[in-house]
């Protein structure tokens, strides 16, 4: 995969399903045309340290070794080039931390991430003029999920089914 992946640098959609890498290959950040990236059943994936600059849809499904997704560290998710519209995290049962959700994301779907305890969607003080356009927030079947902060008032779809650990204040 390491040697062959650069051959696909002009693709728009990329499915890296069932691979055994522990870190998403660094060459992926050079994929200028890539708008959709799907990682499914990459059971050894521990770290996502970079993504392509023009990514619009990012799906991480059944990547059971992933414990943290820190989007604040990714250089492509800055104010100038944050194009991500949809983030899908499903079945990442060891995912404990999700930080730095981009300001202009439209859909955030987190399902069956049993180790995730909280989600902070509040805007930092420097971003108060920018409006979050999150229209769909799904947090289903996250058994240990306790708290959600900063849900936008204009959200169209919200679901937190079978999140039995949500605090009474959050409910």
pLDDT at position 150, please?
82
pLDDT of 31 > 60? The answer is: yes
pLDDT of 79 > 50? The answer is: no
Tell me the mean pLDDT in the region 88-109: 90
Q: Which residues contact 170 (CB under 8 A, 6 or more apart)?
A: 146, 147, 148
Please give the helix or strand (H or E) that residue 108 lies within, else none: strand 107-111
pLDDT in tens, 105-158: 899 999 999 999 988 887 655 554 555 578 999 999 999 888 888 887 778 999
pLDDT at position 77, please?
46
Nearest CA-CA partner of 101 in 120, 115, 114:
120
Query: Are the C-beta atoms of residues 66 and 60 closer than 8 Å to each other?
Result: yes
C-alpha angle with apex 144: 116 to 37, nearest 5 degrees?
30
Q: What is the SS3 assignment for 126?
A: helix
pLDDT at position 80, please?
45
pLDDT at position 83, please?
80
The DSSP result for 77-104, as a single string, is SSSSS----EEEEES-TT--EEE---TT
Q: At residue 3, what are phi and psi to the nearest 5 degrees?
A: -85, -30
Burial of 110 (0-12, 13-18, 19+ CB in 10 A): buried
Average pLDDT of every residue of the chain: 84
- Of 1-5, 37-41, 99-103, highest mean pLDDT: 37-41
pLDDT at position 123, please?
66
């Amino acid at each position: 995969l390491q040697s062959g992946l650069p051959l696909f640098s002009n693709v728009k959609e990329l499915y890296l399903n069932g691979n055994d890498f522990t870190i998403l290959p660094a060459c992926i950040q050079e994929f200028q045309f890539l708008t959709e990236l799907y990682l499914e059943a990459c059971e050894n994936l521990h770290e996502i340290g970079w993504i392509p600059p023009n990514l619009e849809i990012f799906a991480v499904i059944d990547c059971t070794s992933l414990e943290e997704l820190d989007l604040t560290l990714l250089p492509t998710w800055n104010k100038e080039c944050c194009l991500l519209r949809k983030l899908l995290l499903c079945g990442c049962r060891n995912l404990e931390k999700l930080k730095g959700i981009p300001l202009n994301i439209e859909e955030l779907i987190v399902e069956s991430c049993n180790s995730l305890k909280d989600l902070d969607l509040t805007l930092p003080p420097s971003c108060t003029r920018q409006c979050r356009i999150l229209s769909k927030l799904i947090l289903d079947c996250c058994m240990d999920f306790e708290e959600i902060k900063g849900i936008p008032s204009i959200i169209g779809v919200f679901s937190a089914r079978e999140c039995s650990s949500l605090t009474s204040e959050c409910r």
